[in-house]
Amino acid sequence: MKTLVVVDGGPRKGWNTARMLDKLAQGAAASGAQVQSFRLYELDYKGCVSCFACKRAGVLLDVCAQHDGLRPVLKAIRDCDAFVVGSPIYFGDVTGLTRAFIERVCFPYISYDNQPSHFGRYIKTSLIYTTNAPEAQYGETGYRELFEHNRQLFARLFGETSDLTASETLQFDDYSNYAAGRFDAKERLRRHETVFLEDLKKAYELGATLVK
């Protein structure tokens, strides 16, 4: 049985990113995989503290040397067949906790010698993003460059990497309760009930693909 680790870097339970990851996990489970899920906002940890324990001569760490709430996630990824990290985009980047996670999961495997990765094997990975911006604006907002940077990083360290985005996602249950006049609430709800459902189907299918 293959194992898939799902890492949710969004703060909102049951909202866009969480729903995408839940569907992905369902697709993997339906294909016979064992799924282990983590929510970063429920863990106590920091980003890389630049201790360089993972770069000492003669030492090859299999996970980050720091002992905190992220350690079970890193150990699960070390042993899994595939893993996924999902995040909404805030201020043009992944959430702060997702960024800290990326530092901690990636830096120990970055080689300062002449080899591409210290991870030691190749697995499938994927990055899931949910955005407020329209997909047509991904170029001018820098999102496309961000997504490609992350994809290349994960591909270099872990192996085959894909990404999936959901754009113009629903922000509120009731827009009338918020000062959000720049958004067309009816159009956002329409997309949520049509386009976002298609995004969820894509996430389900991706989950099945990751564990084949």
Confidence (pLDDT) at 119: 92
**What is the C-alpha separation between 75 and 196, in angstroms, rounded?**
33
Q: Given this model, what pLDDT does residue 179 score?
A: 95
Residues 19-41 as b or e (16 or more Cβ within 10 Å = b)? bbbbbbbbbbeeeebebbbbbbe
Reported as a single tens digit per residue, the pLDDT across 135-152 is 999 999 999 999 999 999
Residues 6 or more apart whose CB falls under 8 angstroms from that of 52 comprise none
**pLDDT, position 114:** 77
pLDDT for residue 68: 97
Burial class from Cβ neighbours inside 10 Å (0-12, 13-18, 19+) for residue 98 reads buried
The CATH code for residues 3-210 is 3.40.50.360
pLDDT at res. 123:
97
Using alpha carbons, list the distances in angstroms from residue 96 to 3, 72, 92, 93: 27, 19, 11, 8
Query: Over pLDDT 90: what percentage of the chain?
Result: 93
pLDDT at 102 over 90: yes
Q: What is the pLDDT of residues 42-95, one digit of tens each?
A: 999 999 999 999 999 888 788 999 999 999 999 999 999 999 999 999 999 999
pLDDT at residue 115, as a whole number: 80
Reported pTM: 0.94
